[in-house]
Structure 1
Amino acid sequence: MKAACLSLIVAALALSACNHSAPQAVAPVAKTPAPAASAPKKAALFVPPPESAIPSDDFGKQVALGRQIFIDPGRYAKAYVGNALSCENCHLDAGRLAHSAPLWGAYPMYPAYRSKTHDVSTFAARLQGCFNYSMNGKAPPQGDAVLVALESYAYWMSKGEPIGVAPPGHGYPKLPKPAIAPDYTRGEAVFKRDCALCHGDDGQGQQAAGRTVFPPLWGTQSFNWGAGMEQVNNAAGFIKANMPLGRGNTLSDQDAWDVAYFMDAHERPQDPRYTGSIPATRAAFHDTPESLYGATVNGQLLGRGVAARP
């Protein structure tokens, strides 16, 4: 009996030793790698419908007329135009091209408060301003057939966009401040190298068959001192994205700033809001370093105007 008990004790001790031996190495469980961080996707540019999609009904006739006015206002809105420009000189591809203030980028953003007018403007009122300033003419009255057609064209082009949300490409790009201040002499060199071929050595553009092919950039037939393009930052953003025509984004930012300064440092028709005093007009409507109205460049005071407003 004692021998049997002793055998059981020995067996138990042996089993205990086995159970407390050094643990065996266990292969680590492979972890699923975390997905690589991807660059944020850029929002897709809105694609307006093609001209061929303009409907053939009565509304479509207004849309088609609006497009004709936009391309050739000197013919289709002659009573309201005071220079040789067309709308698509600043809003390329009949107002369709992104980053050149396309119509489809503007229409969904109105009505809106504008610091320029110090009130809430409708889209029609915004169009009136284009005639007053960019076209150096006079505004069609509210409800005029010209405004109705242009607004119909913009509405048709913008269908499907959210209201009140600025879509990508809706205006002109906002360039960062230049490394060095814009300069007239450097800008003149850029103009001669990259711009004069189309706009002429004198900046007066080119015409063919009675129509302006390349717009005048200053002088009697260009936009007046009240237009948005007279602000150097606006001109620089437009030039950077779109010029030379067909070769946008090939100029450096500095070149775009310099040539925009050169363009805006030339005289043009008077601001229709002119108060009779250049300093007072600057204080009221051009109180920004981006405007050269009332500034002296190359010994010349800018803002005197070059032609009476029609």
Structure 2
Amino acid sequence: MSTYHRYIVIALSSSALAVGTGLSLYAANAFAQQEERADAALNQLVHEPPTMEDLEASDLHPELKKVIRYGYDLFTNTQQLRGEYVFNDMNCSSCHLGEGRVPFSAPVWPAAITLPDFRGKNQHVNNLEERIAGCFAYSMNGTPPEYGSDEMLALSAYHQWLATGAPMYPDKPIYGRGFPAPEQPETPSYARGEAAYQENCAICHQEDGSGHYENGEYVFPAPWGDGSNNWGAGIARVETMAGFIYQNMPLGQPRSLTGQQAWDIAYYINSQERPQDPRYTGDVAETAERFGPTFHNRSLYGQTREHDGHVLGDHANFGEKGDIQPWNVGMPRFENLSEE
């Protein structure tokens, strides 16, 4: 049983909806997404990533298979790199569910067919390795393996394996890419979000957002705090978090929450503290202004919480990582190229 499916079993068995409503809702949503995928095939690129079973049955060179397996292992158990490249409680698969294969959970194969490309976050053209490096610096609150290292090659190979058969630079939108956010009927509410979080999320992620652990190893990640992603991670943006929640949560019950609930929970979660953005200049207002146009204009970083006056991100807490600076952050590229 895969890690993803094991998590579904745990989530459903922990919930009051497990035996009846939860399972039928999961089946109904899965069926609805199958129909949606069939309809999308008319004008979108719909790709079914190969599985690890497909890898074993393939004619790829045995040495390449070993590297792809290692990439899969790193992707689903990134905690094995804890203290070297990872300094929080996350795995790659914490956000990219189903081994990075699930639509609307930011499946990772699109990166392999759309990169190199310009990325607004760092204002230059990124390749696949640089995109993965960004996940280490922000989502893993760490510092990435070097370009061309065994770990980086293995993770890249796994991404590319999942993209097997998909065209490079497709001329149609990619079905299921990213975390598409639902409509926002009303302005998100902290109070509504807290209530909805406690009702729908705390059973797995704890009331204080610290995550769920078994035998010292985490089963469900921390949505905030030192064990979570830092302020520079994409999911720290309220819209992105709302999309992730709506499309994927509670685990095994995608799209079971209303759009408003997803926005409210996202607003509540992203109103909590987490490790500092590694691009921090030493002043939260300055950092928020500097990276506002390319990132923080969609996060709550530097904003004041209404209920207690706390300024989010106004601290020098970098979590377990301490003062280690990710080597890839703030590294410009192609500055010598002309505008022509």
TM superposition score category, shorter chain reference: 0.7 to 0.9
SS at match of 1:79: coil
Alignment correspondent of 1:167: 174
Distance in 2 of aligned mates of 1:153 and 1:226 = 25
Are 1:294 and 2:292 matched, yes or no? no
What amino acid maps onto 2:302 in structure 1?
G
Contact 1:286 1:293 (8 Å CA) reproduced: no
Q: 1:304 aligns with which of 286, 302, 314?
A: 314
For residues 188-246 of structure 1, the C-alpha deviation after alignment (integer angstroms, 9 at most, x for no partner) is 01101100000001111111233221000111110000000000000000100000000
Distance in 2 of aligned mates of 1:211 and 1:107 = 31
Alignment correspondent of 2:39: 41
Q: Where do residues 23-38 of structure 1 align in structure 2 (5 Å cutoff)?
A: none
Aligned pairs, number: 270
Q: 1:236 aligns with which of 238, 242, 259?
A: 242
Contact 2:181 2:246 (8 Å CA) reproduced: no
What amino acid maps onto 2:48 in structure 1?
V
Contact 1:293 1:302 (8 Å CA) reproduced: yes
Q: Where do residues 227-306 of structure 1 align in structure 2 (5 Å cutoff)?
A: 227-287=233-293, 288-297=296-305, 298=307, 299-305=309-315, 306=317
Q: CA deviation at 1:175?
A: 2.5
Distance in 2 of aligned mates of 1:116 and 1:92 = 23
Alignment correspondent of 1:63: 68
Q: CA deviation at 1:173?
A: 1.2
Q: Where do residues 84-99 of structure 1 align in structure 2 (5 Å cutoff)?
A: 84-99=89-104
Gaps of 5+ in 1: 1-39
Among all aligned residue pairs of Structure 1 and Structure 2, give the percentage whose two residues are the same amino acid: 39
For residues 9-68 of structure 1, the C-alpha deviation after alignment (integer angstroms, 9 at most, x for no partner) is xxxxxxxxxxxxxxxxxxxxxxxxxxxxxxx93227321112112247000001000010
Q: Over the residues paired in the alignment, what is the CA RMSD in angstroms?
A: 1.6
Contact 2:46 2:174 (8 Å CA) reproduced: yes
Q: Where do residues 77-156 of structure 1 align in structure 2 (5 Å cutoff)?
A: 78-156=83-161
For residues 238-293 of structure 1, the C-alpha deviation after alignment (integer angstroms, 9 at most, x for no partner) is 10000000001010000000000000000100000001111110011134542100
Higher mean C-alpha deviation, range 76-85 or range 250-259:
76-85
What amino acid maps onto 1:102 in structure 2?
P
Q: CA deviation at 1:301?
A: 0.3
Distance in 1 of aligned mates of 2:240 and 2:152 = 25
Q: 1:208 aligns with which of 210, 214, 217?
A: 214
Structure having the higher Rg: 1
Q: CA deviation at 1:164?
A: 1.5
What amino acid maps onto 2:292 in structure 1?
H
Gaps of 5+ in 2: 1-37, 325-340
Distance in 2 of aligned mates of 1:54 and 1:76 = 24
Distance in 2 of aligned mates of 1:108 and 1:251 = 32
SS at match of 2:104: coil
**TM-score, structure 1 as length reference:** 0.83
Distance in 2 of aligned mates of 1:179 and 1:74 = 38
**TM-score, structure 2 as length reference:** 0.76
- Detail structure 1 runs of 4+ shifted over 4 Å in the superposition: none
Distance in 2 of aligned mates of 1:254 and 1:113 = 32
Distance in 2 of aligned mates of 1:63 and 1:208 = 28
Contact 2:245 2:266 (8 Å CA) reproduced: yes
Contact 1:228 1:234 (8 Å CA) reproduced: yes
SS at match of 2:213: strand
Note closer, same or farther for the CA distance 1:218–1:241 as it changes in structure 2 (3 Å cut). Answer: same
What amino acid maps onto 1:171 in structure 2?
G
SS at match of 2:299: coil
What amino acid maps onto 2:68 in structure 1?
V
Higher mean C-alpha deviation, range 298-307 or range 63-72:
298-307
Alignment correspondent of 2:32: none
Note closer, same or farther for the CA distance 1:249–1:270 as it changes in structure 2 (3 Å cut). Answer: same
What amino acid maps onto 1:71 in structure 2?
T
